[in-house]
Structure 1
Amino acid sequence: MSTAGMVILGAGECGACAAFALRSNGYDGPVTLIGNESHLPYERPPLSKTTLVDGAGHKPVAPIEAYREAKIDVRLGVMVDSISLGDSHLSLSDGNRISFEKLLLATGARPRRLPGSEFAHGRVKYLRTFDDAVDIRSSIGPVRRLAIIGAGFIGLELAATARSLGCDVTVIEAQSRVLQRGVPEAIAAVISARHLQEGVVLRCGVGISSLIETETGVEINLADGTEFTVDTVVVGIGAMPNTALAEAAGIDLDNGIAVDETLSTSAPNVFAAGDCCSFPLPVYGGRRVRLEAWRNARDQGALAARNMLGANEVINSIPYFWSDQYDLTLQVAGLADGAATTVRRDVDGDAFLLFHLNADGVLVAASGIGRGLTVARDIKLAERLIASKVVPNPVALASPDVRLKTLLAG
């Protein structure tokens, strides 16, 4: 049994950020970071893009030398069998036990499985890990036929990357349009048009009747009677939080591991952060959400570390998402569902922003799309407006001649 200290379960972006934040906030006791993958913690956004394009290795959050210098004990390729809250320890698959003073659960999420998609030939795939990306990379290229099930961020990013590599790509989405969850229709329409321009076949509003895998391909039968065959299928229909260990330990769940505004779970000295947890957002009246986003993982990792050391800080971040597809970047800040009014602002070229106001005129979300970083600065300013619960003048919001910074000052 090792000396009790700070233990982080989950060696992803969130867990790694938490480990380094413990050190930067002055903690000098033992810090142990445990992960079930064999790789050092790495960035996940490149997996659907550059990792597939150039076959490059994973992009680590930090090199191994940084962990050694910070005296962070990184244990990779290790499974945790159970969490014992009574005597504060973890039982590992290799027979060892680790005691903890404070525990952070940063166990992330796993792909939602498509019923009936477990096949022997490995032609139906999922993208979550670096090893998944390497596997998919070997299956795409010129003259290859790829079907992607699910038109969310991951599915569409993968579609764009596969087209750049010469793949024939068909995207199948049961909802009536792409990016149904969290992205306004006007922005989704721009993304759809660009995929069609690039030669992607979009099949929205139709379900799958069956997938039949053979040694040479996958036969797809759609609910509308369409039948076609591809070489590979990648399923991207969302993710599910990894909560099994927490549930077995008796920790409360609510669409993930339930935490309060400080990321504390129902168990003393146990925190949770990142994709695996649901939390209340004060700026939205305590509405409970679960976010699968790069920046949320980083922010919550750092916040959890400070609160493990007694800071007792409350979550104050605004949900933020982005996606790069071809030369377009879309960005979303805040939660737009339930907005009563949407105001459009045209900016450089064909880029535009949408500002979403509730029934009281409060700005609750903003979204935008353009080439490169065209809308980035305005989205960042919009985050500040949302956090301040500003009631902006809709005419001023619509005018590109009015700087958003002046609305914040007002």
Structure 2
Amino acid sequence: MAHFVILGAGECGARAAFALREKGFAGEITLVGDEPLHPYERPPLSKAGFADAGDPKFIATLEKYAECGIRLLTGLEARDLDTASRAVRLSDGTALSYDKLLLATGASARFFPGAPENSRCIRSLRTHHDAAALRDGMKPGRHIAIIGGGFIGLELAATARLLGADVTVIEGLERVLKRGVPEEIAYLLTERHRTEGVDVRCGVSIEALTEEGGKAVIKLSSGEVIEADLALVGIGARPNVDIADRAGLAIENGIAVDTYLRTSAPDVFAAGDCCSFPLPIYGGRRVRLESWRNAQEQGTLAAANMLGLDEAVSSVPWFWSDQYEVTLQIAGLAEGAVLHLRRDLGPDAFILFHLDTDGRLIAASGIGPGNAVARDIRLAEMLIAAGAHPDPAALAASNVKLKSLLAA
């Protein structure tokens, strides 16, 4: 009987395991995770919902894994991979042989260079354990310093204010969300945070991050010193490629895979945050995406290709972020855009469309309260997937339905 092993019990790995069963695989499935908890959703960890104490939002119950015949091993690290003998060695000494292997090892938070390790007042966010520790520190009268003005940093800033903490955001670049978010939207979000009392500082470099007397001490290059009860480091993530690298797999900003999520080793696949892959709709440009939906979709796609169905990557990248009552959604990749058009959707809601030199729609960025932009972003996503060259005037005209452009 064939044995499929999945390393990484996050969104991607769990979805792949269940998808194998849904697609008719009758062999053995072993899902291995290094956290003690069974697979859970990570997006709520940084958003307002994380303010509520309790268990994480689990992807499925333990009974569901048993019912589907998925052997779930938690609290174990995969130490070695031998692609020649098709075997994986775990941290408890267990050896697992496989017929097909999926690496869904995810990514880890980048830590600030030179900062003390295992500090109670200098932390990052990646796991439920991290979130619980941060939540305990976000209380009225506490000062939280957030290093990095990306999605994680800004979402946590909003959550900290919701819990009554004082917040300072320190961003080294000239504005927040510099990578992938248009300046017009970043400006609105910055002002929204400032309205809530967040001290947002951009273009500020940090010389040192230390712990003194139970406080995080941030020394800026200007000489100013900021003290905080808790410092959150949110400066991005690095793909977990160590086991793949040691096994000799090709690495290129993550584990390098083809459009079918196959690695450079036979019968070894990779998916989710840990891998980089070529995107056909962007001319084969190699990308690595850290997003909830990408992890879901690639888990299902990897399962199909482990079964020999040869389904290529075809989805449009999609991201979202919730901060206060505002939701930001982005479809596609705007790099290379030369024309940017705005469509107003109502009070405090609009979409920016991004077109390349040929007039092809390559991305759309929307912001508004609640679900105000969700429908039009979804239609924009479909236009991007179709390689559409819509009339720019029609895109900007709020009285022209996007659905009609899709039909055309």
TM-score, normalising length: structure 2: 0.99
Do the aligned partners of residues 10 and 120 (structure 1) sit closer, same or farther apart at CA in structure 2, a change above 3 Å counting? closer
Match of 2:245 in 1: 247
Give the partner amino acid of 2:308: G
Secondary structure, aligned partner of 1:347: strand
User: For 1:162-183, what per-residue CA distance to the aligned partner results, in whole angstroms no more than 9, with x for missing partners?
Assistant: 0011100000000000000111
What letter is aligned with 1:183?
Answer: V
Corresponding residue of 1:238: 236
Distance 1:121 1:266, change over 3 A: closer
* 2:145 aligned with 1:147: yes
Shift in CA distance, 365/10, structure 1 to aligned 2, threshold 3 Å: same
Write out per-residue CA displacement over residues 21-79 of structure 1, whole angstroms, 9 at most, x where no aligned residue: 00000001000000000001110000012453111211111111111110100000011
Amino acid at match of 2:46: S
Is the CA contact 1:107–1:275 (under 8 Å) kept in the aligned structure 2?
Answer: yes
Alpha-carbon separation, structure 2, partners of 1:38 and 1:326: 31
Aligned to 1:294, which of 292, 295, 298? 292
Deviation string, structure 1 residues 257-287 (Cα, Å, up to 9, x no partner)? 0000000000000000000000000000000
Residue of structure 2 equivalent to 1:48: 46
The aligned counterpart of 1:58 is: 56
> Equivalent residue of 2:310, what SS?
coil
Q: CA deviation at 1:228?
A: 2.2
Q: Equivalent residue for 2:8?
A: 10
Report what 1:340 is aligned to: 338
Matched, 1:409 2:407: yes
* Paired-residue identity, %: 56
CA distance in 2 between partners of 1:120 and 1:160 (Å):
25
Partner of residue 267 from structure 2, selected from 259, 266, 269: 269
1:138 alignment partner, SS class: helix
Note if contact 2:209-2:217 (Cα within 8 Å) is conserved in structure 1: yes
Query: Map of 1:6-405 to 2, 5 A cutoff?
Result: 6-50=4-48, 52-119=50-117, 121-405=119-403
Is 293-302 or 205-214 further displaced after alignment?
Answer: 205-214
For structure 1, which segment, 250-259 or 203-212, has the greater mean C-alpha deviation from structure 2 after superposition?
Answer: 203-212
TM-score by length of 1: 0.98
User: How far has the Cα of 1:224 moved from its partner?
Assistant: 2.1
How far did 1:121 drift? 4.0
Q: Distance in 1 between matches of 2:214 and 2:251?
A: 43
Partners of 2:167 and 2:44 in 1: CA distance: 20
The one-letter code matched in structure 2 to 1:126 is S
Q: How far does the alpha carbon of each residue in 1:268-311 deviate from its partner, in whole angstroms, 9 at most, with x for none?
A: 00000000000000000000000000000000000000000000
C-alpha distance in 1, partners of 2:129/2:8?
Answer: 17
Distance in 2 (CA, whole Å) between partners of 1:350 and 1:230 is 34
Structure 2 gap segments, 5+ residues each = none
Deviations along 1:154-209, whole A, 9 cap, x unmatched?
00000000001110000000000000011111111110010000000001001011
Q: Determine the C-alpha separation between the residues in 2 that align with 1:288 and 1:281.
A: 6
Alpha-carbon offset, residue 221 of structure 1: 1.5
C-alpha distance in structure 2 between counterparts of 1:178 and 1:151, whole Å = 5
Preserved CA contact (<8 Å) 1:51 1:133? no
Distance 1:401 1:85 in 2: 57
Instruction: Give the C-alpha shift of residue 216 in structure 1.
Output: 2.8
Give the conservation status (yes or no) of the 8 Å contact 1:4–1:99. no
Letter in 1 for 2:381: E
2:304 partner amino acid: R
CA–CA distance in structure 1, aligned partners of residues 118 and 38 of structure 2? 30
Q: Which amino acid aligns with 2:107?
A: A
Count residues with an aligned counterpart.
408
> Contact 2:145/2:168 (CA < 8 Å) preserved in 1?
yes
